[in-house]
Structures are given as structure tokens and as C-alpha cells.
Amino acid sequence: MKTLVMEEVSKTFPTGTVALTGVDLIVAAGDFVSVVGPSGCGKSTLLRLAAGLDDVTAGRIQVEATSTSYVFQEPTLLEWRTALANVELVGELRGVPKAERKERAREAFDLVGLTGFEKQFPRQLSGGMRMRVSIARSLVAEPELALFDEPFGALDEITRLRMQTELQRLFQLKAFAGLFITHSIPEAVYLSNRVLVMSGRPGRIVADFNVPWAYPRPPELRYETEFTALTGAVSAALGDHS
């Protein structure tokens, strides 16, 4: 089963900037696909198109997943709401009955390891905790396809590695397909079963790597020679085209 199909997708902005040309992409159920590329190559544009936040100039996008979620670069929390109330927002906007939306928010909140932080306001939380709230908020929609726009880019290295392990556990548990944008090659390889490499502007997909290891992957995998060989290959593909 497929969750997302992109065929020959191009995007040109009104300013004349060509962000993407001829992108073909399929995210099947059970897939976790990462897209790496130099900054400004249109990775985020790709994700915005998939989410329906922007329209394609040419080509076709078909979202076959019944529900999608989106995690932003920044946690994008409402500062005046407590952590738990931020997670409840999604249900509120979608008109889910109060009891049900509270229960679902509660469940997602506990799932990302935030139990005990319900009443904290965003500015009282650390960067990693804020991102957990953001991920919990995206899980409330019970996504079949989860879109991530460099969610860990602003985190420190230690928190970042921990969040990667956490995310891997979540998508194993909730069985959603993922499309993950990042500029970190090890992050892409560690998380995904497929890594796509994009060229610099205009963005095209220039390489497609399969990542063989089964989930769950231990954090130590990052230091195995096969792992570094693969990150090296991705890096080389990136270097050839940027």
C-alpha cells in the first residue's frame, strides 16, 4: 500500500525561483524515507507540497494516507497554553468531542515521555521537551503518513541522538509511514529504510539508497563500519551534485 505518490512534480515560485523539477517519489506504508540535500535545495518545499500547504506548478501529488501529520522545524507551540493544552489543540480545531480529544491528547502525551509536565508552559521546557510536545501533537491525529521538516535541526547533539531513538520507537509502535527532511546524513541513515539525495537548486532527486538494517536499530549502530560506509556513500552522492 502506498501513502504518498509524487509524479514529475515541479514547483516554480511566483518570483521565478525554480525550487523543484521532475521529482518522483513514493512512500509506501511501513516506509521511513529521508530526504537529504544542501540547504535551499527545496527539501522543505517538497514537504509543504506533500502536506498541501502549497500547490505544484506541474506534475501530480496523490496522498493516499487517510490522515497525515506535520512536524515543523520549530516546535511551534502556543506560548499561552500548557504543554498538554497544546496537544489538545488539534482535537479542538478538528471538532473532536471534549472527552475523546482529552483522552487522545493524554495518550500521545504519555507516549512521548512527557508525563508529569502537563501543566508546564512552553517557555518553561527545554528545547528537546518542546519538540516532544510538538511530536505528541502530531501523533494525536493518528497519522498514516507523518511528515517531518528538519525537526531536530535546532537541538544540541546529545538531545538530537536521544530524539532519534525516541522517534524510531514511536514509528515502530504507531506504524506510520514517514517522510523526513534533514540535512544530517547520519540522522537520515539511522532513521530510514530509504534515503533520497537531492541536488542543489533546482531540486531533483539524484540518488536513492536502501538502508538494510532491521528495526529497532541500536544507537551503537552509528559506529559500525557498514554504517559509516553508507553515510560515506550518501555524502559522496551529495557532493557530486551540489
Closest approach, Cβ 90 to other proteins, in A, equals: 6
Q: Which is nearer to other proteins, 31 or 150 (CB)?
A: 150
Count CB-CB contacts under 10 A for residue 207.
17
Residue of the chain from 18, 51, 207, 233 that contacts other proteins (CB under 8 A): 51
Closest approach, Cβ 119 to other proteins, in A, equals: 8
Q: Which is nearer to other proteins, 12 or 76 (CB)?
A: 76
Task: Check binding of 93 to other proteins (CB under 8 A).
Answer: yes
Task: Check binding of 213 to other proteins (CB under 8 A).
Answer: no
Question: Whole-angstrom Cα distance, residue 87 to residue 108?
Answer: 8
Residue of the chain from 1, 16, 80, 218 that contacts other proteins (CB under 8 A): 80
Q: Which is nearer to other proteins, 14 or 218 (CB)?
A: 14
Closest approach, Cβ 78 to other proteins, in A, equals: 7
The values of phi and psi at residue 71, to 5°, are -115, 125
Instruction: Give the strand order in the sheet containing 18-28.
Output: 18-28, 2-12, 58-63
Task: Check binding of 79 to other proteins (CB under 8 A).
Answer: yes
Closest approach, Cβ 79 to other proteins, in A, equals: 6
Span interacting with other proteins, options 12-20, 46-54, 165-173, 174-182, rule CB under 8 A: 46-54
Any idea which residue has 506504524 for its cell? 175
Lookup: cell for 110: 504519555
Q: Which is nearer to other proteins, 53 or 58 (CB)?
A: 53
Closest approach, Cβ 164 to other proteins, in A, equals: 22
Q: Which is nearer to other proteins, 125 or 211 (CB)?
A: 125
Task: Check binding of 142 to other proteins (CB under 8 A).
Answer: no
Q: Which 53-72 residues touch other proteins, going by CB under 8 A?
A: 53, 70, 72
Question: Whole-angstrom Cα distance, residue 145 to residue 142?
Answer: 9
Query: Which residues of this chain interact with other proteins, rule CB under 8 A?
Result: 51-53, 70, 72-74, 76, 78-80, 82, 89-90, 92-94, 120-121, 123-124, 141
